[in-house]
Structure 1
Amino acid sequence: MSSEIKSQNKLAQGVLYVVATPIGNMDDMTPRAVNVLQTVDLIAAEDTRHSGQLLKHFMISTPLVSYHDHNERARTEQLIDKLLHGQQVALISDAGTPLVSDPGYQLVKAAQDKSIKVVPVPGVTAMIAALSAAGLPSDRFWFEGFLPHKKQARQQRLEELLKYSATVVCYESCHRIVACVEDLVALADNSRQITIARELTKTFETIKKDTAEELLAWLTADHNQQKGEFVLLIEGATKPKPEELPEDVLKVLDILLAELSVKQASQLASKITGYKKKQLYELALARKQG
């Protein structure tokens, strides 16, 4: 038994470990993660059949129970009861870090509400892996998770995301990647850089950065590039330079922003100053975001 688990066993109640697992390459499993999974009393997994292969690979014999979107509420109650009675529980997802576009939030919240200790065991997450190799600004980013499945809702959301000045990170499936890039061709300025990260850490890992138009041509020319799991990263919108507008116009905009929403402030500033609403809206949004 690991010293980490031994020390926690001294507590009257159990500890919930949130354990990251590989997204493809088994060598990315950390020794600490293996140690924790070997020594806890129970592992809650999104898909027990899928996770069973992981445990078999690392010779982990700890019992498994399912924990997914369809049984989250009932299973949370069961797991909290076990934790309150001193059992150590680990939470894992199919791949990567639990709760990052995967189940787990309800369990972590319930544990904290009962003053049960929650311990993260960090490791791989596709979002960060993609961001680190995307060649796009990473000092500020927005993680969107999965975009809406339906075309109209997806386009509406992309229109909003394209206004963000930070790099936007989305997950997408093989079934919708082409349609999503088609939407970006229609909505994004062709100078906007976009990175597709496909099958990260796996045999056919591919990372490609280009405009939406060029990426669409690349995807449609080779059907193999449409297979697998995708992370889509979109370059942030360029902030308008303050010097593009006179100082008195900026002052009016800042006064209005202190009291009104971005939309209301830019509309009223346009009426007062005579400058275009779109220009003032983009500048107001940039100033509001920091």
Structure 2
Amino acid sequence: MKPPGRLIVCPTPIGNLEDITLRVLAALREADVIACEDTRRTGSLLKSYGVSARLLSYHDQNERARTAELVKRMRAGEVVALVSDAGMPLVSDPGFVLVRGCVAAGLAVEVLPGPSAALAALVASALPADHWRFAGFLPRKRAELASAFAGSETLVAFESPRRVAATLAVLAEIDPQRPVAVCRELTKIHEEVVRGSAAELAARYSQQPPRGEVVLVVGPGPATSEADSERALLAVRRLVAAGAKPRTATAVVSELTGTSANALYRALTA
């Protein structure tokens, strides 16, 4: 009986094709099938390195059906490579369902290191990297956005270039002197990292929005004392007792006090 196959998670370049690793190329050549977001984009990457492979589309709309198919293939002994259009799969990209499916089926999952826009931006920002969190794509609602900015660690997030000005305007209202880095087109020809205060960058991009792919890095917010946290939690409890929904109450108090909405909600429901 043929032994079970495995899944190899392969990060791909975020812009510069030379950033692909030798291990990733070897894995792509070894794979029986490569699951990818866009077969045309992945096909172009493989052609650049003379890799011939069978490609199978795997994206947000079909990942549950594809996961069942790919797990079946791996159980039959095939090796499946998973890639996204750029960077590490699962990090704001498809792949979570497949990895969970492999774990549930007892199949081996191998993750290869490689390019990551979030890590590149964090380092290039020159902001504290000892404590940081990745928020994926930032929310659009002001209260949720304010909550995202409320943490006492460096925040790394993806943002649409069309929304950079509006997002920074919200941060500038909350904390105009908060340090920010707008990292644009990382590893590409027009790579640019602009550093400054929230107020400065909000004004800059209100006149001319950035172009290309953007990663925002926001410096830590002011630390919240234990007494401040207790007062914020008390305010949430009073709002809930008055009839407000817990999520709404935590969002409002978070926006007013700078206390993390998630921390407030956890404390409220503990």
Alignment TM-score, normalising by the size of structure 1:
0.78
The change in CA–CA distance for 1:84 and 1:284 in structure 2 (over 3 A counts) is closer
The aligned counterpart of 1:132 is 123
1:263 aligned partner, one-letter code: L
Displacement of 1:210 in angstroms is 0.7
Match of 2:234 in 1: 264
- What is the letter of the counterpart of residue 172 of structure 1? E
SS at match of 2:74: helix
**Rounded Cα–Cα distance in structure 2 between residues aligned with 1:128 and 1:48:** 26
Partner SS for 2:82: strand
Measure, in 2, the Cα distance between the counterparts of 1:206 and 1:38. 34
- The alpha-carbon distance between structure 1 residues 42 and 266, as it changes in their structure 2 partners (threshold 3 A), is closer
- Could you tell me which amino acid in structure 1 is paired with residue 184 of structure 2? R
The match for 2:93 is 102
Q: Residue by residue, what CA displacement relative to the aligned partner does 1:11-57 show, whole Å, maximum 9, x if unpaired?
A: 71001000000000111100000011011100000111111111111
Residues of 2 paired with 1:137 and 1:39: CA distance?
39
Q: Map of 1:232-243 to 2, 5 A cutoff?
A: 232-239=216-223
Instruction: Find 1:184's aligned residue among 171, 176, 193.
Output: 171
Is residue 2:203 matched to residue 1:217? yes
In the other structure, the counterpart of 1:41 is 32
For the 8 Å contact 2:132–2:154, the answer to whether it is kept is yes
Q: Choose the corresponding residue for 1:81, options 64, 72, 83.
A: 72
Q: How many residues align?
A: 248
Residue type of the partner of 2:159?
E
| Stretch moving more, 106-115 or 10-19 | 10-19
2:214 to 207, 230, 237: 230
The 2-side partners of 1:20 and 1:222 are apart by 32
Distance change in 2, residues 1:11/1:182 (3 Å): farther
The separation in 2 between residues aligned to 1:119 and 1:22, in whole angstroms, is 18
How do 1:108-257 and structure 2 match up within 5 A?
108-148=99-139, 150=140, 153=141, 155-186=142-173, 188-222=174-208, 226-239=210-223, 253=227
Which AA in structure 1 matches 2:179? Q
Q: Give the whole-Å Cα distance in 1 for the aligned partners of 2:196 and 2:260.
A: 29
Structure 1 residue 217: deviation in Å?
Answer: 2.8
1:78/1:266 Cα in 2 relative to 1: closer, same or farther (>3 Å)?
closer
Is this contact kept in 2: 1:170–1:232, CA < 8 A? yes
Runs of 5+ consecutive residues of structure 1 not aligned to the other structure: 1-9, 243-249, 269-276
Q: CA-to-partner distance for each residue in 1:144-196, whole Å, 9 max, x for gaps? A: 10022x4xx2x11221122200111110112222222222223x311111111
Q: TM-score, normalized by length of structure 2?
A: 0.83
- Alpha-carbon RMSD across the aligned residues, in angstroms, is 2.8
Residue aligned with 2:133, SS: strand
* Paired residues of 1:21 and 1:97 also in contact (CA < 8 A): yes
Q: 1:31 maps to which residue?
A: 22
In the other structure, the counterpart of 1:5 is: none
* Counterpart-to-counterpart distance in 1, 2:102 and 2:45: 26
Between the aligned partners of 2:11 and 2:167, the Cα distance in structure 1 is 28
Structure 2, unmatched stretches of 5+, are 239-252
Amino acid at match of 2:55: L
Kept in 2: contact 1:48–1:64 (CA 8 A): yes
The one-letter code matched in structure 2 to 1:83 is: M
1:267 and 1:104 mapped to 2: Cα distance?
38
Alignment check: 8 A CA contact 1:239 1:282 kept: no
More relative contact order, 1 or 2 (CA 8 Å, 6+ apart): 2
Aligned partners of 2:62 and 2:162: how far apart in 1?
26
